[in-house]
Amino acid sequence: MSEEKENEFGGVAIVYEDEIMLCLRSPNMGHYASHWSIPSGFVEEGETPQEGAIRELKEETMIEIGDCEFVGILHEAFYIYKYLSGTKLKPILDKEHTSWDYFKKDDLPIVMDDELKNLIKNKIL
């Protein structure tokens, strides 16, 4: 297994039309347990933040994408990317998540990181 880069994370927001796919983190996850978020995780040694974000998306949802657009950085080290999908993709979740759904800008879940919520409302949807 590769080493993680110090404090770098990457995540991909899957967008279909005017909705974003969010996943509910498992209650036993240490960071942001029981919070809604985009699929994300640590960037490993030798990866760019975009490569790490795409890899984490596949590991956590079994969704494979080629390329995605950089949207911004949260908390000084959380690199956020956006993927515009032509279909409403359905993830196959790993153990890090218990549920998933698509949400419109004005109907985002209450239990999620406020900075991520603002980024979704202002730059993603």
Instruction: Give pLDDT tens digits along the chain (125 positions).
Output: 455 556 899 999 999 999 999 999 999 987 789 999 999 999 999 999 999 999 999 999 999 999 999 999 999 999 999 999 999 999 999 999 999 999 999 999 999 999 999 999 999 99
Torsion of the alpha carbons at 38, 41, 45 and 51, rounded to the nearest 10: -20
Measure Cα distances from 3 to 45, 62, 80 in Å. 5, 22, 21
Look-up of token digits 């409403």: 88
* CATH value at residue 73: 3.90.79.10
Q: Which burial class, exposed, middle or buried, applies to 119 when counting CB atoms under 10 A from its CB (0-12, 13-18, 19+)?
A: buried
Residue 87 falls inside a structural domain: yes
Residue 20 falls inside a structural domain: yes
Residue 111 falls inside a structural domain: no
Instruction: Please give the pLDDT value at position 31.
Output: 77
Q: Which domain holds residue 36?
A: 4-103
Instruction: Please give the pLDDT value at position 1.
Output: 45
Total count of domains within the chain: 1
